[in-house]
Amino acid sequence: MNRLMGAALQWMPAVSRSAGVSALSGHAGGGRRSPVEIVATMGTYMTRTQAAEWSGLRAGSFGRWADGVTAMREDCAAFANHWQAHNEGVLGQCAAERPDAARGMNEASEAPGSGPLWVALGDSTAQGLGAPNPEAGYVGQVLEVLRQRSGLPWRVLNLSVSGALIRDVLTGQLPRLPASADLVTCGIGVNDILYTGPGKLFGDLRALLAAVPDHTVMLDLPLPAGCWGLLGRASVPYVARINRTIHQAAAARGLPVAEVSAHFLPPWAGKFASDCFHPSQEGYRDWTRALLAVI
């Protein structure tokens, strides 16, 4: 599979970045496709040709991979709907607990269903895409452990959006952050590797790390070492540079960093979803361990 993906990338004709992205991606945030989906979309055209049928490409691993990405698109919408409905319920609780002139702070804090509030910012990984259901991603797994370990009814407000870039968190997610949040986490940057030039990526990243609330837990990016073939190996230095920037800017503000890069590691068997890009439920267990190590 890794060799096929690398070969497909090398086979694709050169197109301008703006033209290719505009043709194959949606709108900012929820409509924007991930890098792997762009490649798979092109691959889908290949596997539907008559030549693909008689050559075995359609029924082979590349065809199955393209089918996996297609299935993931449906999950993307379903997971977004799940978290939207979930968030509406949490925000309703927050509004009911807000003290007003007729209710004292102590009374409000004892409202039914009240508990510490975690706000998750980020992209499709915070949505749990790749897991069998939204609650099986790292957000759902960490929430379960927080409740078990603390004995408190922790709640989560998941403001993440599949396809989000760093600038989408700055302009679309941070402004929605409730002041009452007890914990804020942010994992973002993978999509920017395709959609954003290095100069803007690092500028946006530093701006984000300056804008998040104090004590926000940042997640660094997984290193694609040993996966995705030549493309993965070629990406490691750039991803490592992004991670260094996250750690340096976070250290300057005293922000903790969950080192996904040190936990999401080989062996890779079973750790990726059908699109060979997003983590599976098993893969998200590594992300969960990384986050729990700092909170």
* Same domain for 200 and 62: no
Question: Which CA distances in Å does 59 have to 65, 67, 190?
Answer: 10, 10, 30
**Residue 74 placed within a domain:** no
Going by pLDDT thresholds of 50, 70 and 90, the confidence category of residue 177 is very high
Among 241, 247, 290, CA closest to 265: 290
Owner of token pair 């984000």: 208
Q: Which pLDDT band holds residue 93 (cuts at 50, 70, 90)?
A: confident
Beta-carbon-side half-sphere exposure of residue 105 (alpha carbons within 13 Å) = 1
Of residues 175 and 13, more confidence is placed in 175
Phi/psi for 57 (5° steps) reads: -65, -40
Report the predicted TM-score, pTM, of the whole model to 2 decimal places.
0.78
pLDDT for the residue 112: 41
**CATH number of the domain to which 272 belongs:** 3.40.50.1110
Task: Name the residue range of residue 108's domain.
Answer: 80-292
- Do 253 and 138 have their domain in common? yes
Give a yes or no: residue 60 inside a domain: yes
Q: Could you report the per-residue pLDDT of 100-155, keeping only the tens digit for each? A: 433 433 433 334 458 999 999 999 999 999 999 999 999 999 999 999 999 999 99
If asked whether residues 207 and 238 sit together in one domain, one would say: yes
Are both 90 and 30 inside the same structural domain? no
In a domain, 240, yes or no: yes
Clarify whether residues 223 and 265 are in a common domain: yes
Ranges 35-44, 142-151, 267-276: which has the least confidence: 35-44
Assess whether 35 and 106 both reside in one domain.
Answer: no
pLDDT band per the 50, 70, 90 thresholds, residue 185: very high
Residue 194 has what pLDDT? 85
Confidence of residue 234 (pLDDT cuts 50, 70, 90): confident
Looking at the structure, tell me whether residues 57 and 121 fall in a common domain: no
CB atoms within 10 A of CB 143: 18
Rounded Cα distance between 274 and 232, Å, is 17
Which of 29, 44, 66 is at the close of a domain?
66
Statement to judge: residues 107 and 145 lie in one domain:
yes
Please give the average per-residue pLDDT across 67-93, as a whole number: 87
Do 131 and 193 reside in the same domain of the chain?
Answer: yes
Asked if residue 103 and residue 184 are part of one domain, the reply reads: yes
- pLDDT at position 67, please? 62
Whose tokens are 């790390």? That residue is 209
Q: Taking the CA of residue 38 as centre, how many other CA atoms within 13 Å lie in the half-sphere pointing to its CB?
A: 21
Residues 94 and 56 in one domain: no
Does 55 share its domain with 88?
no
Residue range 166-184: average pLDDT?
A: 97
Tally of domains within the chain: 2
Do the Cβ atoms of 137 and 129 come closer than 8 Å?
yes
